[in-house]
Copies of this chain bind each other. A is one copy, B any other.
Amino acid sequence: MPPSGDAPSAIEHTLRVIGDRWSILIVRAALRGIRRFDDFCEDLGIARPILTERLRRLVRNGVMIKVPYQDHPVRYEYRLTDAGIALSPVLVALVRWSEEHAPGATTPTALVHAPCGTELEQAFWCRRCRTTFGPTAIRGVERRQVDGDSAADMPDAPAGH
């Protein structure tokens, strides 16, 4: 089922990893500090066989890792990898959308910039113009092959992670 004729697009690739009803919620739980099978199970209300399968897939795709946290009864817990943490922008975008476009959305927790405690915004950033902007200023252009990093006359990156 090709999306637009060509090979699986970027979005489709990501959706194949986290595009089911549970994976994103699992990642969110993990970001909140949950690590163990039973805790995921209870926190999410997910059926056990499905949790098993999802964790396995997230591990396979490098989103989480399974690490033993004790031996004797060898027990494992699941932690986000860097790639898993890098899903945050997706989560934040989902939260923001519901906050701005939901009827009576209750949002118990706010997302803030850790150092200063100010509620964060999410924006698109143009490094050349050095400005943020909204969705209407986005355009999609064909990317030519072997594009050997043509742009090289701009000051610096947006900021440090």
Q: Which residues of A contact B (CB under 8 A)?
A: 1-4, 6-15, 19-21, 24-25, 28-29, 32, 43-46, 62, 83, 85-102, 105-129, 131-143, 151, 154, 157-161
Q: Are A135 and B161 in contact (CB under 8 A)?
A: yes
Q: Are B45 and A25 in contact (CB under 8 A)?
A: no
Alpha-carbon separation in the docked complex, A161 to B112 (Å): 22
* Smallest CB gap from A100: residue in B: B86
* A161-B134 contact, Cβ under 8 Å, with A93-B89, A95-B10, A128-B113: yes
Alpha-carbon separation in the docked complex, A134 to B125 (Å): 13
Q: Are B138 and A10 in contact (CB under 8 A)?
A: no
Alpha-carbon separation in the docked complex, A47 to B116 (Å): 49
What are 24 residue pairs bridging A and B, where the CB atoms are less than 8 Å apart in the complex? A3-B29, A7-B106, A11-B28, A11-B91, A14-B102, A15-B21, A15-B94, A20-B21, A83-B97, A86-B101, A88-B135, A89-B96, A89-B97, A93-B93, A108-B143, A110-B140, A113-B128, A113-B129, A114-B139, A117-B139, A118-B151, A121-B125, A134-B159, A135-B161
Alpha-carbon separation in the docked complex, A1 to B113 (Å): 30
Minimum C-beta distance from A8 to chain B (A): 8
Number of copies of chain A assembled together: 2
Alpha-carbon separation in the docked complex, A114 to B1 (Å): 30
Minimum C-beta distance from A114 to chain B (A): 4
Minimum C-beta distance from A160 to chain B (A): 7
Alpha-carbon separation in the docked complex, A6 to B93 (Å): 21
* A1-B101 contact, Cβ under 8 Å, with A10-B94, A118-B127, A124-B121: no
